[in-house]
């Protein structure tokens, strides 16, 4: 089976940067899209960003576009969420997920394995 382990979460001041990494174990890493979701306090889980299997296509949700980006290193089986200019509203538990498909989708139902989540807290 697939196991996804996030790292890099923590606390940061508004305007700061943070980098979240997801290390994947299992088969066929490069054949699947990978994504990041987040769930803030009292909110539903929402899509943040996703990247295609080869890394040639990325989608970033409008609320973080221009501040966040996603990358992957298939040789290392890792996916990274680069977060800049963080805002308090970015505070959430961030989840790494493996996509069902090679290309990018933004619905949670298009992802079949999930990490345990890592907390990101942005203070004013």
pLDDT of residue 76: 93
CA-CA distance, 102 to 116, in Å (whole number)? 22
Q: Any idea which residue has 């490069």 for tokens?
A: 30
Angle ∠(76,93,6) on CA atoms, nearest 5: 15
Tell me 14's DSSP state: T
Per-residue pLDDT in tens (0 to 9) along the chain, 124 residues: 789 999 999 999 999 999 999 999 877 788 899 999 999 999 999 999 999 999 999 999 999 999 999 999 999 999 999 999 999 999 999 999 999 999 999 999 999 999 999 999 999 9
pLDDT of residue 44: 96
Phi first, then psi, for residue 71 (nearest 5°) are: -145, 165
Q: Any idea which residue has 């807290």 for tokens?
A: 121
């Amino acid at each position: 089976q697939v196991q996804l382990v996030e790292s890099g979460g923590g606390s940061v001041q508004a305007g700061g940067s943070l980098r979240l990494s997801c290390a994947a174990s299992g088969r066929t890493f490069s054949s699947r899209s990978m994504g990041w979701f987040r769930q803030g306090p009292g909110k539903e889980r929402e899509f943040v960003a996703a990247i295609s299997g080869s890394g040639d296509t990325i989608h970033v949700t409008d609320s973080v576009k221009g501040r966040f980006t996603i990358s992957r290193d298939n040789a290392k089986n890792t996916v990274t969420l680069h977060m800049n200019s963080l805002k308090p509203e970015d505070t959430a538990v961030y989840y790494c997920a493996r996509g069902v498909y090679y290309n990018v989708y933004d619905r949670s139902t298009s992802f079949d394995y999930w990490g345990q989540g890592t907390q990101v807290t942005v203070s004013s």
